[in-house]
Amino acid sequence: MTARVVLVTGASSGIGEATARLAAQRGEHLVLLARGRDALGRVAADCDELGAASTTVTVADVADDDAVRRAVADAMARHGRLDVVVGAAGVVAYGRIEDVPVDVFDGVLATNLTGSANLVRHVLPVLREQEEGSIVLVGSVIGHMAVPDMAAYVLSKWGLRGLVRQLRVDNRDRPRLRFGYVAPGGVDTPIYEQAATYGDAVGRPPFPVQAPERVAARVLATVDRPWRGGQTSAANHVIRLGFSALPWAYDRMVGPLFTVAAQDLVREVVRGPGNVLASRQEHNALHGTHGNALAAVARNLVEVGRRRRKAA
């Protein structure tokens, strides 16, 4: 089979990196995009070793429309076509809406939502001209619900889900264009350590934690069969059901559950913008360092007990 041209944003860490590596194993041509050149270089070298037909590194911020335009133009100049585009660039901010600085709040939306729209704006004319090709955008189960202290991320992922649906509606005249959407739950990647933090605890991936390789396999399965996309775990369906069918119970329970399952109460809190405003590529990696999620819940419960006793 002829190698396809696969462009991946957020390719220097986590889910984007795992997607790039899997595509490399399949012998595809890769265009790897993120803000940090050195981390991209590390992934590119691995992809070459894994069997990529070719690997190109593109340093760009997806929030910068002109940079995305240039990245797509460069990829076209080199390959003459684009077959698969995966939007996996993403950042997180924790903290109440009134505590997260406005530039950080807007930065989350700029990468996750406007960045996805920028990507689509420049890729779509290419795919429409070719009359075939796939775009897969990585959303989140959080694009289907509200969770405490993640307002910017929630808004960005609800918006991204709307963008995918909009693309399907707008491009019905091109039946060979495919628009995939993959919504992971907890995935062990560095995104939690990289997050902007303005609250009292740091985030962690909640149970059941998936490996980025597993989500990457889902992303690439979605390329040719968009109906294979959507939620990546059964737990996502349960949480979504609670959110929409039992809103009064969900709103009451999500706070305490989030504290013990989606935060690490014993890790030191380092407040600041994380990687939202600029790359911290030295922290990028294929996997995170969060360990067993159930053990983390147990540790959190012990810590909650300790704090209650101290307060009494």
Ligand X SMILES: NC(=O)c1ccc[n+]([C@@H]2O[C@H](COP(=O)([O-])OP(=O)(O)OC[C@H]3O[C@@H](n4cnc5c(N)ncnc54)[C@H](OP(=O)(O)O)[C@@H]3O)[C@@H](O)[C@H]2O)c1
Which active-site residues does the annotation give? 153
Strand partners, 178: 134
The CA distance from 305 to 211, in Å, is: 31
Per CB under 6 A, 190 contacts ligand X:
yes
Q: Which is nearer to ligand X, 12 or 222 (CB)?
A: 12
Amino acid identity, position 213: E
Provide the 3-class DSSP secondary structure of residue 265.
coil
Other C-beta atoms lying within 10 Å of the C-beta of residue 211? 16
- The mark string for 24-63 relative to ligand X (x by CB under 6 A, - otherwise) is ----------xxx--x---------------------xxx
Q: DSSP letter for 283, please.
A: G
Distance separating alpha carbons of residues 104 and 232, to the nearest angstrom = 28
Do the Cβ atoms of 137 and 111 come closer than 8 Å? no
Please tell me whether residue 100 binds ligand X under the rule CB under 6 A: no
Candidates 9, 114, 222, 300; binder of ligand X (CB under 6 A) is: 9
Eight-class DSSP state of 53: S
In the DSSP assignment, the letter for residue 284 is -
Of the pair 74, 132, the CB lying nearest ligand X is at 74
Beta bridge partners of 182: 138, 230
- Using the rule CB under 6 A, give the single segment among 173-181, 185-193, 221-229, 250-258 that binds ligand X: 185-193
Which residues, numbered 109-128, are part of the site for ligand X (CB under 6 A)? 111-112, 115
Q: Which of 279, 290, 296, 300 binds ligand X (CB under 6 A)?
A: 279
Pairing label, strands 202-203, 263-264: antiparallel
Task: Give the span between the Cα atoms of 41 and 37, in whole angstroms.
Answer: 6
**Does position 226 bind ligand X by CB under 6 A?**
no
Residue from 30, 138, 150, 262 touching ligand X (CB under 6 A): that is 138
Q: Which of 4, 10, 167, 293 binds ligand X (CB under 6 A)?
A: 10
Q: Which range, of 6-14, 95-103, 265-273, 296-304, touches ligand X by CB under 6 A?
A: 6-14
Q: Which residues bind ligand X (CB under 6 A)?
A: 9-16, 34-36, 39, 61-63, 88-91, 111-112, 115, 138, 140, 184, 186-187, 189-191, 194, 205, 212, 275, 279, 281, 284
